[in-house]
Amino acid sequence: MTIRPILIHPDPRLKTVTDPVSDISDEIRALGADMLETMYDAPGIGLAAPQVGVLSRVLVMDCVKEEGAAPRPMVLINPQIIASSEETNVYEEGCLSIPEQYGEVTRPAEVEVRWLGLDGKEHTQGFDGLWATCVQHEIDHLDGKLFIDYLKPLRRQMITRKMQKLKRERARA
């Protein structure tokens, strides 16, 4: 397993609508394993394939945060939201592609998601709480959307400028 570098906004690959996965190949299995390792190393609670430069509809997540609790790694291929609650939740989101920047995003509090597992089987599950926020944030990545797209234009512009500066500094180091 390999920790892959995480792309930093702005990057055209983070604005791209990704392609569905047509079969569960060894390459996809390796991608899922690498993405989980990269997410835990960051650390984060989710990661989508475009964040590691792969333009395929794959995401990983594990929103178990309690100290000492068993981890719950999930790999979702071609995920689709098939139902969303009327009730909404506001969460101060972050993003591994936009380090140290946060913003409040309102999303449906509960969603039902269908996806293909690494076992090749179709899965359907309801998510709530942080899991619901995270799976929606990650599916947005697969559609080229970032949490800052929900913020006011001025705030989004400020964050983008900070990230451009960060990238320049990292390139010089």
Q: List contacts with Zn ion (CB under 5 A).
A: 95
Q: Which helix (H) or strand (E) holds 133?
A: helix 129-142
Q: What is the nearest approach in angstroms of Zn ion to the Cβ of residue 134? A: 9
Q: What is the nearest approach in angstroms of ligand K1U to the Cβ of residue 146? A: 9
27, 87, 138, 169: which one is catalytic?
138
Dihedral sign computed on CA atoms, order 60, 63, 68, 71? negative
Residue 14: name the closest of 127, 133, 140 by CA.
140
Spell out a b/e string for 61-89, using b for 16 or more CB atoms within 10 Å of the CB, else e: bbbeeeeeeeeeebbbbbbeeeebeeeeb
Gyration radius of the chain over CA positions: 16
Stretch that binds ligand K1U, among 17-25, 37-45, 114-122, 157-165 (CB under 6 A): 37-45
| Residue 138 among the catalytic residues | yes
Dihedral sign computed on CA atoms, order 120, 125, 130, 132? positive
Stretch that binds ligand K1U, among 11-19, 24-32, 38-46, 66-74 (CB under 6 A): 38-46
140 binds ligand K1U (CB under 6 A): no
Cα–Cα distance measured from residue 142 to residue 144, given in angstroms and rounded to the nearest whole number? 6
Q: What is the nearest approach in angstroms of Zn ion to the Cβ of residue 23? A: 26
Which of 94, 114, 128, 144 binds ligand K1U (CB under 6 A)? It is: 94
Cα–Cα distance measured from residue 109 to residue 111, given in angstroms and rounded to the nearest whole number? 7
**Are 110 and 127 a contacting pair, CB within 8 Å?**
yes
Mask 40-69, x = binds ligand K1U (CB under 6 A)? ---xxxxxx----------------x----
Q: Which CB, 61 or 116, lies closer to Zn ion? A: 61
Which of 62, 93, 111, 115 binds ligand K1U (CB under 6 A)? It is: 93
**Which residues would be at the binding site for ligand K1U (CB under 6 A)?**
43-48, 65, 91, 93-97, 133-134, 137-138, 141
Residue numbers annotated as active site: 138
